[in-house]
Amino acid sequence: MSEHASTVLTTLANEGGKHENLYPLGAGIGALATLLVLLFIVTRFNKDR
């Protein structure tokens, strides 16, 4: 392996875990919307009444 490739791989390995969470508000809203849709589907198709 060349010295340049080794340097690039070492840099990527050291900086790989330093990313921020991508859009935490968007993820929360998406999860809430998904749960509300599932709740609507479950209550619509409930045949136990």
Query: Of 24, 27, 8, 26, which Cα lies nearest the Cα of 16?
Result: 8
Give me the residue spans of the domains in the chain: 22-49
Q: Which residues have CB under 8 Å from 34's CB, separation 6+?
A: none
Rounded to an integer, what distance in angstroms lies between the CA atom of residue 7 and that of residue 14? 11
* DSSP string across 1-49: --HHHHHHHHHHHHHTT-PPPS-HHHHHHHHHHHHHHHHHHHHHS----
| Residue whose structure tokens are 């589907």 | 41
Which pTM does this prediction carry? Answer: 0.50
The pLDDT tens digits of the residues spanning 9-33 come to 777 666 655 556 668 888 899 999 9
For residue 17, the model assigns a pLDDT of: 57
